[in-house]
Amino acid sequence: MSCKCCGAHEQAPIEHIEKKNNLLKGYWRILLSALLLFGGIAMNAMDIAFFREKYVALAWYVLAYLPVGLPVLKEAWESITQKDIFSEFTLMSIATLGAFYIGEYPEGVAVMLFYSLGELFQDKAVDKAKRNIGALLDVRPETATVIRGGEAIVGDPRKVEVGETIEVKAGERVPLDGVMLGGVAAFNTSALTGESVPRNIRKGEEVLAGMIATDKVVRVEVTRPFEKSALSRILELVQNAAERKAPAELFIRKFARVYTPIVTGLAVLIVLLPFCYSLVDVQFVFTFNDWLYRALVFLVISCPCALVVSIPLGYFGGIGAASRMGVLFKGGNYLDAVTQINTVVFDKTGTLTKGTFEVQSCHTQPGISEERLIQLAASAERNSTHPIAKAIVNYAGQRNIELIPTEEVTEIAGHGLETIIDGTRVLAGNTRLLSKYQIEYPEELLFIPDTIVVCAVGTEYVGYLLLSDTLKEDAFKAIEELKALNITNIQILSGDKQAIVTNFAKKLGITQAYGDLLPDGKVKHIEELRRDAENQIAFVGDGINDAPVLALSNVGIAMGGLGSDAAIETADIVIQTDQPSKVATAIRAGRQTRRIIWQNISLAFGIKLLVLILGAGGLATLWEAVFADVGVALIAIVNAIRIQKLIK
């Protein structure tokens, strides 16, 4: 029954049963206490003879108090033994026992009854929010169909080993990460990405746990164990997010530690100062019980439950709602940080563009055939994960060109590859690579506005491949939505030629685009932006090649990072899709969460301050004090849960 901030959802059946039993016990205690309280009030109103006796009434209300009071008194004692003297349990215990001391039995019982009822509702609301978020994310199947010895065996997915083949029927959810073994199949990816449109996955492409096969039976070769699947890492990320507190959350916790003792001291002064004044001014009549009652009202109001519960729940709700939209925040602190962003810097390839290059043409020097040039370039690039390298290797496959063995492959960041083929050095990359090795090439290559991969054998330039990339469908929407959020400083950084980057930037309406940047060049650019303290920078990249820049920016956002360990490790926010428009979704989620949080803070402080003043002046009773504490807490919790519906 404690006001603790919500942690991560756990799917433990035993824990769920224990919570359910505790709630049932709580309801029975509250029901019994309420029957005795209102029965006593009714007998007093009807002037029942035996109830006129003071000790009879006291005994009756003590019986009404015990079912709801004992658990709180126990919590108060445990808090005191742990040196947390000024907890809400201690305050409620003092306030209600004080009410009994001055003879206000019904009010003493009512304060504890409604406080316990409020706590029960709070626990239920927090538990429901955590279960909803957990159910939203934890969509891992409990069984997997494994193909062993030609037979389909249904078993625990935790026992399936990497390299084994699993079968997924139409309508079933994929239990483990792997690669497609068949042709083409459609998958519902909404559990992971928030997108309802099915996605076609081809042979050799990645299939992730949580996806649903929609049109046929598929077979998948497992590439990761159960606990390391993309979905498991998402769950772990969201669970750990509760540990990364936002500044507002940390402030409220620190403030509560100072605020509660101060208010307790003020409650003592409410009694002490009038008494001292009565010693100076003999005409002033000091009635101890009247001033003690005002102090008790003051104590009840001072409980910071509304803030201590609703603010963590608000951040947790924001993280859960954003997850449903395909945006993973690694902590409440990043929900806050993203609201300050006024500068968004995009990587180009794979972020704003599809990153699925296609070879358009092949240009060779005299003495070398197109097939030989393609063979050399594809052989050199065969083990690279770069989109351009994959495009060249795929092109060689389409033309049925056989690749040849390579030796001593060296990747030179921002330049390309150096390798040995048939005992001769082969270079494949950009013009900077040839310049680095002082190999001459035609000057007109510098003025080609599209992406090219040049190739050299030994010390001779032998030709180039021309490739093209295209903007993602929602790249225009991404820029428009950012501008609608009053973010006008939007930039593009790329290792591609300046002419290519400028061309894409013009199409998107971006005025600041920088090409020809090596990885350290991107770092220097971000460092230059950070020299101006007013720039709050979000860098959006793929989370692998841009890891240093993601770490350097105020907020690092990784695109399409579900299958990427580097993305999840480096970025502060992981966008589960390849949609750059989700950057605006992340910013809106942060702003909406922050708005709700500050609504709760303003509501709680405003009402509490008003009733505190009324209580000190003797104009508020314990009934108003109960509303100022329990009522405001419940309103704040309902407002926090509302985040789930607001974030879109």
- The residues, ordered by sequence, that sit 6+ positions from 166 with a Cβ below 8 Å of its Cβ are 144, 145, 146, 147, 160, 174, 175, 176, 178, 219, 220, 222
Distance between alpha carbon 105 and the CA centroid of its chain, in Å?
A: 47
Asked if 34 and 150 touch (Cβ cutoff 8 Å), the reply is no
Contacts from 250-254 at CB under 8 Å and sequence distance 24+?
252/304, 252/307, 252/308, 252/311, 252/601, 253/308
Q: Is 303 helix (H, G, I), strand (E, B) or coil?
A: coil
Rounded Cα distance, 447 and 371, in Å: 25
Q: What are phi and psi of 410, to 5 degrees?
A: -125, 125
Rounded Cα distance, 434 and 580, in Å: 34
Amino acid at 313: L
Rounded Cα distance, 312 and 640, in Å: 9
The string of DSSP codes covering 568-601 is HHH-SEEESSS-TTHHHHHHHHHHHHHHHHHHHH
Q: For helices 582-616 and 475-484, what crossing angle results, to 10°?
A: 30
Amino acid at 24: L
Catalytic residues: 347
Rounded Cα distance, 181 and 206, in Å: 10
Q: Which residues pair with 460 in a beta bridge?
A: 457
The pairing of strands 424-429 and 451-457 is: antiparallel
- Tally of CA atoms within 13 A in the half-sphere of 577 that contains its CB: 29
Q: For residue 352, what are its two tokens?
A: 């704003």
Amino acid at 314: G
Question: What kind and span of H or E run contains 460?
Answer: strand 460-468
Q: For residue 381, what are its two tokens?
A: 């690039």
Asked if 223 and 313 touch (Cβ cutoff 8 Å), the reply is no
What is the gyration radius of the CA atoms in the chain, in angstroms?
A: 33
Q: For residue 608, what are its two tokens?
A: 């509490």
In this structure, is the dihedral angle defined by the CA atoms of residues 105, 107, 109 and 112, taken in order, positive or negative? negative
Cα 612 to Cα 82, 310, 371, 602, 616: the distances in Å are 28, 21, 85, 15, 6
- The residues, ordered by sequence, that sit 6+ positions from 329 with a Cβ below 8 Å of its Cβ are 241, 318, 319, 322, 323, 335, 338, 572, 573, 586, 589, 590
The pairing of strands 489-493 and 343-347 is: parallel
Distance between alpha carbon 560 and the CA centroid of its chain, in Å?
A: 15
Rounded Cα distance, 610 and 619, in Å: 11
Cα 416 to Cα 384, 540, 616, 639: the distances in Å are 10, 23, 75, 54
Rounded Cα distance, 400 and 354, in Å: 25
Rounded Cα distance, 495 and 473, in Å: 22
Residue pointed to by tokens 């090795």: 437
> In terms of Cα–Cα distance, which of 73, 615, 57, 627 is closest to 293?
615
